[in-house]
Amino acid sequence: MRVSTLVICVDRDNDIGEKAGLETPILGREASIAAATRLGLADSEDSDINAIFEAIRVYDRLKSENAGSVEIALIAGDKNLGIVSDRKIGEELDKVLSSLEAESVILVSDGAEDECIIPVIQSRVKIDSVRRVIVRQSKPLESTFYMMKKLIEEPEFSRTFLPPVGLLLVLLAISLLLELSGKAMGIILGAIGIYALLKGLGRERLLWDLLELIKQSLYSGRISFVAYICSIVLLLLGTFQGMVGSWDYYMKRDSEIGGILLPVVVFVEYAIWWYVGAALAPLTGKMLNMFIEGERVIAHWAIMFSIIASGIILWGGSKSVLLLNEGNYPMAYQSLFFAFLGAIIISLMGVKISHYAKAEVSLKAQESK
């Protein structure tokens, strides 16, 4: 059969086959309508549906204008876009042209991606026209605005997302009014970094749990409330001390060796013991509450000494890095060695005290029986 014009609709990623389960090529107007309907039932948001109906519309217009013999065909590629897909399109086009012997084609596409196969078609038959289908009812800006509005109206989202954003904006506004934008940006970026770190570790509820513990301690009148306040103060002081120390080191150094690593190491050296104190404060408060209430303290001893040992290792490691950077290798190795030795001894002390406390509890439990 010979036709003067062939209307071709190309589905390069083969949604027709993957979603609707149809085999291509598909020839004829009725078969094309059936294919579009089946694809629409499978996925009503697929843009290939509009391309198929546009191809049918072009076909009907050519038929009504008596533009000679006209036929319509749907061809598809493969979900693996690229060489595999384009070869399949070429094979299906050869199959269609062998049965129809079209003089020229009109290509109907739903976007630039499908139009990448124009060279494949041109190598086999002349292309008279290319029709790109723009879906008018797709309004990305309006949809985005609607989604944002719905999210803001959602209580769970607004209570989780809006308060931190509002707090950051208020801090930024105050800093601009007081001409402290540089320091405020450092605090804001630090807060975002802490939240991102906790989120990545799956501990985003840690801060809220800490606030809840502080509130419960305040209501119950426990010593741990004061300990939590001390922990927050120590944490802020350590951060400030670390930032001042790392900034001074960054401004005084003569070379760019180490990049940003060395200021970070200086930050650790200056801030680590403040952070250790911030970690020990609530633990100490909890232990005091247990003593007052007559409870036995067992595992807390090991935790306390482990925190101190960790601080020694971090301090010794940062000190060693700075000494190595200065070329003082003996002192660097010596600092690292004594830091490891001290951390091991302190950890063993904590374990020993915990075992002793546990043995005392077991002995008293046996005596009570």
Phi, psi at 197, each rounded to 5° = -65, -45
Distance CA 364, CA 357 (A): 11
Same domain, 43 and 96: yes
SS3 (DSSP) at 128: strand
Does an H or E element contain 130, and which?
strand 126-132
Give me the half-sphere count of Cα atoms (radius 13 Å) on the Cβ side of residue 361.
12
What does DSSP assign to residue 134? -
The larger pLDDT score, comparing residue 361 to residue 107, is at 107
Same domain, 9 and 101: yes
220: number of Cβ within 10 Å: 10
Across 181-185, 273-277, 346-350, least confident range: 181-185
What is the average per-residue pLDDT within 62-73?
Answer: 83
Q: 66 — alpha (psi -120 to 50), left (phi > 0) or beta?
A: left
Same domain, 193 and 217: no
Same domain, 95 and 27: yes
User: Which residue has 């915990």 as its token pair?
Assistant: 354
Same domain, 180 and 244: no
Does an H or E element contain 7, and which?
strand 3-11
195: number of Cβ within 10 Å: 13
For the segment 5-36, what is each residue's pLDDT rounded down to a tens digit? 888 888 888 888 888 888 888 888 899 899 88
What is the average per-residue pLDDT within 306-315?
Answer: 86
Residues 6 or more apart whose CB falls under 8 angstroms from that of 44 comprise none
Domains held by the chain: number:
3
**Nearest Cα to 9, choosing from 53, 44, 42?**
53
Which pLDDT value is given to residue 212? 67
For the segment 153-201, what is each residue's pLDDT rounded down to a tens digit? 666 666 666 776 777 777 677 767 766 666 666 666 666 666 666 666 6
Same domain, 22 and 123: yes
Last residue of a domain, one of 104, 132, 160: 132
Last residue of a domain, one of 97, 132, 167: 132
The larger pLDDT score, comparing residue 215 to residue 110, is at 110
Q: Which contacts of 172-178 are long-range, i.e. CB under 8 A and separated by 24 or more positions? A: none
Phi, psi at 128, each rounded to 5° = -85, -35
**Nearest Cα to 273, choosing from 281, 283, 282?**
281
Across 4-13, 74-83, 92-101, 152-161, least confident range: 152-161
Same domain, 170 and 223: no
Same domain, 196 and 283: no
Determine the angle formed by the axes of helices 261-292 and 299-326, rounding to 10 degrees: 160
| Domain around 311 | 205-368
How do beta strands 70-76 and 126-132 pair?
unpaired
Same domain, 243 and 175: no
The chain-wide mean pLDDT, for the chain, equals: 76
Distance CA 201, CA 314 (A): 21
Same domain, 352 and 210: yes
Last residue of a domain, one of 91, 110, 132: 132
Same domain, 231 and 354: yes
Same domain, 186 and 282: no
Amino acid (1-letter code) at residue 194: I
For the segment 216-266, what is each residue's pLDDT rounded down to a tens digit? 655 555 566 677 778 888 888 888 888 877 777 767 665 444 556 777 788
Distance CA 367, CA 205 (A): 43
Q: What is the token pair recorded at 74? A: 């749907």
User: Which residue has 């509005």 as its token pair?
Assistant: 149
Q: Is the pTM higher than 0.85?
A: no
SS3 (DSSP) at 129: strand
Distance CA 9, CA 16 (A): 11
How do beta strands 70-76 and 3-11 pair?
parallel
Q: Give how far Cα 355 sits from Cα of 112, 280, 348, Å.
A: 71, 20, 10
